[in-house]
A and B are shown apart, each in its own frame.
Chain A
Amino acid sequence: EADIYQTPRYLVIGTGKKITLECSQTMGHDKMYWYQQDPGMELHLIHYSYGVNSTEKGDLSSESTVSRIRTEHFPLTLESARPSHTSQYLCASSELGGTHFYGYTFGSGTRLTVV
């Protein structure tokens, strides 16, 4: 079973609301990532972190923000949700790179709908 957990699984929310998507992992991975994926489409990296107090923006510009106060926790926040934010958000984590890199572990995703 996955050792990375995302909540909620589904979220329908009104325009202008503030939301936080939760992501936690129990594997002690230093690296964590947020991807955005529209149905049937490719994944786009929106945020990543290489450790506590380290966060970077990804390749796709996003109005969301992230924080990394604890190794296991990497929440994503939208201050004011809009219909254009409707998408699936996938959280992932990985170990160190180089020869110790064995790929990402993904959570089950949060499907966000903003109405």
Chain B
Amino acid sequence: DTEVTQTPKHLVMGMTNKKSLKCEQHMGHRAMYWYKQKAKKPPELMFVYSYEKLSINESVPSRFSPECPNSSLLNLHLHALQPEDSALYLCASSQAPLAGGYNEQFFGPGTRLTVL
């Protein structure tokens, strides 16, 4: 299985809602990433988990809360979002993050989030 899956594909939420995005991979990768991508812009790194521990937080607002319950699963909990948070949220995974070599990142299809 060489796929990163994300659910849901689309999500519409109000500014007072609490929702979660889910990402799953079964490639044995020990690094998982969350990116935010606005229209016609490149992806922006939000968080990196390495061996289920948060390694990088790119100064993301606390209304975004990541969670890595096990090596195959990555969640992004959303609360009190703003309309400007509407974007495509991409999950990616790669092999051991501190090893040499390519560490190629495999991306999921994304979740299209709209905040009303």
Q: A and B: partners?
A: no
Q: A: which residues have CB within 8 A of B? A: none
